Structure 1
Amino acid sequence: MVRLTRAQTQERTRSGVLAAARAEFADRGYRDATIDGIAARAGLTRGAIYANFAGKRALYLSVLAADAERAARARRGDAAGTATPREALAAIARARLGAGLPADVLDDEPARAAYAQLLELEALVLGLALERLGLRGRAVRVAASALTLLAGADHLATAAPGFVDQFDVVAACELLTALPADRGWPRAYLQHVSPARPVDEPWPDGPAPRDGVVHLLGLRRLEAAEESVRSAPAGVAVTVALVTGEPDELAPLARLVLARLDDTLRRAIPEPARPPVRLLLGTAADALAAAAGVAAPSDDTEVAVRVAAGRVVARAEGRGAGHAAAVVPVTTAVARPA
């Protein structure tokens, strides 16, 4: 008999808990599901459940995230059939209808604040995709309006069954392309941001990320991702690493939103129009944060570094850090501080 390692045993236990939670939520819904019910289905104690997950909400979000990740993987290689912003908005609506969260899942301020910022990030990525498909102006507002409409439709579908006509919701999302062009960029305060600090440092831990901007953002500051993405010169890679001071509680929520976004992009946006920004979460993001010198990430973290030729050539912290790091002039020779 093969003896499992401790890590393998833990992974098997987590998988069993998730399977039990999926069955409990499917049978009883989020509100009426209980940790005791999940423990009974898994053949474990309450303590064993809490040793692996922070609570019912973390379990629920982890189940949804795993399902969304599985759906996205199944669509790898598929080509979205959209060619215009209007077609893309219709495809986004079809992909997202029914994917809303029950209102009582986000029942505290930290979770609601993090979710609002995660939606800002989602609207940014979808808005950039609409722009790459030809929508004029800053399309983030269009994407945010579509997400708002879809969330409202999901809520009413639960609160007033039979009231929502899904075909009308999809058609309404298509019409959002007629919104007046949003010229709300750049943000006024960016012209007053302190320049990034020039440095010349080897990447301190393991292989360096690809050359470009590495933007480290806590879950309460994700709206700032637009500053590095839009400020970076054409062809400069941008990596946004999401970090949190409450990984047990908030990381499952972030994982769900990123998985849902990945699945939506695969279903609604053709490959050439998908924004090149790279989003990282979990161990990959934490490793980037540690290597960039952020020892204790929090939900208010806002740090950016510029990487060139495998070395850190500039650092910036605080409001506007992503913009400051993105606009640093970098030549083929690594810049060195005076």
Structure 2
Amino acid sequence: MPRLTRAQRQELTRDAVLRAAGHEFAAHGYQDAKIDRIAARADLTRGAVYSNFPSKRALYLAVLLDLLEHDTSPGRQNSLAGALGAFVRVWLERLPLAGDPPAAARLRLRSLAGVFEDDLGRATLAQVARLEGVLLGLALEQFPDEEEAGGQGTPGGGTAPRGGEAGGRDPRGEAAEGRALRGWEPGQFRRPGESPGRFAREEAARGRRVRLAELVLTLLAGACQLAERAPGFGDPFDVIQASRHLAGLDLDDEWAPPYLDFTGAARQVWEPWRPPDGVRDELTGRPVDLGTDGVIVVLGTQRLEAAEEAVRAARPDDQVTVVVATADPAELGRLVRLRVGDLAGCLRVLEVGVPLRLVLDEDLAVTSAVLGRAGGDGRGEDGRGEDGRGEDGRDGRGRVDHGRGDHGRGDHGRDDDGRGDDGRDDHGRDDHGSGDNGRVVGVGRPPDGGPEPDELEIAIRIHNGEIIARAEGRGAAHAVAEVRP
């Protein structure tokens, strides 16, 4: 029998931990699960568990990610009501079966009850929920309402969807009309203090359905919460039918954030653009070429709602890429990947795309490239020169070194050092060496007192392999997306 490589042994260990953890969480739930029992079931030491997953929370999120699967067989829908019904039906497949044990039911529901109780975790959940509303809203904007569908509100009737990868209307098409009202010319930059205008932004977001999407997600969150706390209550088919009726609501949805009147203009620059490779779109799973012309927006986990700024301001043929930055890929990064992956799986039933690509920048390589820094965010004090990385802290692929071990994580907090099964030591720190905010010490720390990775909002416009405009801070995504090469 051939001898396994180190990487193969690590993969087998990780799989064993995930299987054991799945059994433990299904039997006892998140709160009562014990790392010692997981290690024993996997026939590993406690230290081996922590060397693969730095906390119980990170391990729970990894188990939920492993469970993601959706049946997207119904195919294309022809109206807004049909799209809502199809999306909700796929979402409700997670509802537990009759007779499921409570802990197994919570796992099936992808429940996060009691998992993120700290301030940073709750704030991140709120931002992720807003991002979900934007993504679902952008998808729903591609379907005709009842009048446009000729009254055919059921699958098989009416007209085809109006945009995305399936063809037709792009949600940004009306944004171009709004920009025409502002009199933009190619290459023109807004002068400092010049406001884009609230009326123009309202025009740019005409036909917006983000509020409808948020209402649908609220309905689904309530259905899942009742399924967890009052099993058997309600009929899922009633929820599906109710969601279809939401298509007829007039929610007076508008998008005109008042702070955009006070944001500065993007700076005109001419800088070389050297993006890292090996990144993928969390919505489609496809590789992403960051070298193409378009807008790239780096958003920390506390600024995810700003993704809509870039989409509304961009012209229809712009390639918009949203890059999510975090100093805590094991927990906050997995949370974003779980929730976005879950939503993307449900959206596939609609057979339309959304006009953006979403990248999770776990090693902050893209963030460093956008900032124009040579990887200074995350390298160790010694610059990691002896392990093949240069003084800028990057490896051969341009990725930033965060001082992680062979498993992609640091050696902090991995073995029997007196921590309890909740993953905290006597000082109340999480088992990965971070404080209650869940951040890994020494990872992605900003130099010179700059913003934390989770609080970033940076945008650049790429044209012919160069950065031609950039902006930072609140409103940056909108300011850069307005620039015309």
User: Do they fold alike, i.e. is TM over 0.5?
Assistant: yes
The range that moved more, 181-190 or 299-308, is 181-190
Match of 1:231 in 2: 313
Q: How far apart in 2 are the matches of 1:31 and 1:259?
A: 24
- Report the aligned-residue RMSD: 2.1
* Correspondences of 1:34-183 after superposition (within 5 Å): 34-68=34-68, 71=69, 80-97=75-92, 98=95, 99-135=109-145, 137-183=207-253
Q: How far apart in 2 are the matches of 1:236 and 1:34?
A: 49
Q: CA deviation at 1:181?
A: 3.8
The answer to whether the 8 A contact 1:96-1:264 is kept is yes
Identity of aligned residues (%): 47
The answer to whether the 8 A contact 1:123-1:147 is kept is yes
The range that moved more, 230-239 or 53-62, is 53-62
Question: Equivalent residue of 1:50, what SS?
Answer: helix
Q: How far apart in 1 are the matches of 2:453 and 2:292?
A: 24
Q: How far apart in 1 are the matches of 2:211 and 2:297?
A: 22
Match of 2:457 in 1: 302
The answer to whether the 8 A contact 2:212-2:251 is kept is no
Kindly report structure 1 stretches of 4+ aligned residues shifted beyond 4 Å.
205-208
Match of 1:270 in 2: 351
Match of 2:6 in 1: 6
The answer to whether the 8 A contact 1:304-1:321 is kept is yes
The range that moved more, 56-65 or 211-220, is 56-65
Match of 2:483 in 1: 328
Give TM-score, length-normalised by structure 1. Answer: 0.88
Larger radius of gyration: 2
Q: CA deviation at 1:223?
A: 0.5
Match of 1:291 in 2: 369
Q: How far apart in 2 are the matches of 1:126 and 1:80?
A: 17
Question: Equivalent residue of 1:103, what SS?
Answer: coil
Match of 1:333 in 2: none
Q: How far apart in 1 are the matches of 2:481 and 2:236?
A: 42
Q: Which amino acid aligns with 2:138?
A: L
Q: CA deviation at 1:186?
A: 2.6
Q: CA deviation at 1:130?
A: 0.7
Q: CA deviation at 1:27?
A: 2.5
Question: Equivalent residue of 2:327, what SS?
Answer: coil
Q: Which amino acid aligns with 1:91?
A: A
Q: How far apart in 2 are the matches of 1:127 and 1:142?
A: 7
The answer to whether the 8 A contact 1:139-1:182 is kept is no
Give TM-score, length-normalised by structure 2. Answer: 0.63
The range that moved more, 49-58 or 205-214, is 205-214
Residues 213-256 of structure 1 show CA distances to partners (whole Å, capped at 9, x for unaligned) of 10100111100000001110111010001111222221111110
Q: Which amino acid aligns with 1:260?
A: D
Question: Equivalent residue of 1:281, what SS?
Answer: strand
Q: Which amino acid aligns with 1:159?
A: R
Q: Which runs of 5+ in 1 are unaligned?
A: 331-338
The answer to whether the 8 A contact 2:266-2:469 is kept is yes
The range that moved more, 78-87 or 223-232, is 78-87
Q: CA deviation at 1:116?
A: 1.2
The answer to whether the 8 A contact 2:323-2:360 is kept is yes
Q: How far apart in 2 are the matches of 1:10 and 1:322?
A: 40
Q: CA deviation at 1:36?
A: 1.4
Q: How many residue pairs were aligned?
A: 321
Q: Which runs of 5+ in 2 are unaligned?
A: 96-108, 146-205, 278-289, 378-443, 445-451
Match of 1:336 in 2: none
Q: CA deviation at 1:282?
A: 4.0
Residues 287-329 of structure 1 show CA distances to partners (whole Å, capped at 9, x for unaligned) of 2212112634621111111011121111110000100110011
Q: If each structure's helix is expressed as a fraction of its own residues, which one has the higher value?
A: 1
Question: Equivalent residue of 2:121, what SS?
Answer: helix
